[in-house]
Amino acid sequence: MSTPFQNKWVLITGASSGFGAAAALAFGRAGARLILGARRADRLKEVAARAIEAGAPSAVFHTLDVTSTPSVETFAAWARGLTPRLDVLINNAGGALGLDPVATARDEDWEGMFQSNVLGVLRMTRATLPLLTANPGSILINIGSIAGRVAYEGGAAYCAAKAGELQITRALRLELNGTGVRVCTLDPGMAETEFSVVRFKGDEARARKVYEGVVPLTADDVAEAMLWMASRPAHVNIDEMVIKCTDQAAIHKVHRRPAPSTPAR
């Protein structure tokens, strides 16, 4: 049976968990050949195997640290050895570190967030751009956040980093005008992945509290949005998509039910 991405090449960063892993499965199910990157190779191996089971004709992976130019260059050279062109690039690797106010936050967290969410997107894009421009109609999807659009307390650096991602996407769309490469940002609100566990440095109880009494987005919801954006015809560019769960009317306006009445999905 033919599927919309049959034998198309899809490269996903941050494919070892959350949105990236869900996207690997969704594009795999749709017939895509997957190129996956992240720092945890053991997790990538599992995701690749699940994607093959789901229907991907191939799913290969390589360690990737988007905070390091040599790592990105090595990864991109490996990807160029697999294919001279990409159909979809998803710059998803990133996340938040800490929720401290500026007065007490740590340089290490700020630098980590800018390295992955901002410089990582720039590095990956520069390194793989020839694979996209070789293929008019290809699409680049950057994963931003509602945090890049509205600030919140404790989010100064993360919000700034995701605002940076948004402006990178907008600048790239201008720079690539005429090449046929589509450039999009997908900006989710709260979604239950490993995001909060990473933000709170492994404090799972604190991470769980973020979603208490709420029906948040799932990684699959976000992956489906990526699939939809990428399956528009080549002349259609979804510039910017914001996706939030129904319980989150705005970044500061989240409807929470008292436990234990959180409804089932």
Among 22, 66, 147, 225, binds ligand 8X3 (CB under 6 A): 147
Assess 118 for contact with ligand 8X3 (CB under 6 A).
Answer: no
Among 140, 214, 222, 251, binds ligand 8X3 (CB under 6 A): 251
Query: Considering the complex, what minimum distance in angstroms separates the CB of residue 41 from ligand NDP?
Result: 8
For residue 152, indicate whether it is catalytic.
no
Assess 222 for contact with ligand 8X3 (CB under 6 A).
Answer: no
Assess 217 for contact with ligand 8X3 (CB under 6 A).
Answer: no
The one catalytic residue in 158, 195, 200, 211 is: 158
Assess 14 for contact with ligand NDP (CB under 6 A).
Answer: yes
Residue number with the smallest Cβ distance to ligand 8X3: 145
Question: Do residues 211 and 190 lie in contact, with contact meaning Cβ atoms separated by under 8 Å?
Answer: yes
Among 99, 122, 156, 198, binds ligand NDP (CB under 6 A): 198
Gap between the Cα atoms of 116 and 47, Å rounded = 21
Transcribe the chain into DSSP letters: ---TTTT-EEEEESTTSHHHHHHHHHHHHTT-EEEEEES-HHHHHHHHHHHHHHT-SEEEEEE--TT-HHHHHHHHHHHHHH-S--SEEEE----------TTT--HHHHHHHIIIIIIHHHHHHHHHHHHHHTSTT-EEEEE--GGGTS--TT-HHHHHHHHHHHHHHHHHHHHTTTTT-EEEEEEE--B-SSHHHHHTTT-HHHHHHHTTT---B-HHHHHHHHHHHHTS-TT----EEEE--TTEEETTEE--PPTT-PPP-
Stretch that binds ligand NDP, among 10-18, 98-106, 176-184, 227-235 (CB under 6 A): 10-18
| Contact map string, positions 71 to 90, toward ligand 8X3, x by CB under 6 A | --------------------
Among 13, 67, 116, 145, binds ligand 8X3 (CB under 6 A): 145
Query: Considering the complex, what minimum distance in angstroms separates the CB of residue 18 from ligand 8X3?
Result: 11
Q: Choose the one of ligand 8X3, ligand NDP, none that binds residue 20, judging by a C-beta under 5 to 8 angstroms depending on kind.
A: ligand NDP
Residues that bind ligand NDP (CB under 6 A): 13-20, 38-40, 43, 64-67, 92-95, 116-117, 143, 145, 188, 190-191, 193-195, 198, 219
Question: Which amino acids are annotated catalytic?
Answer: 158
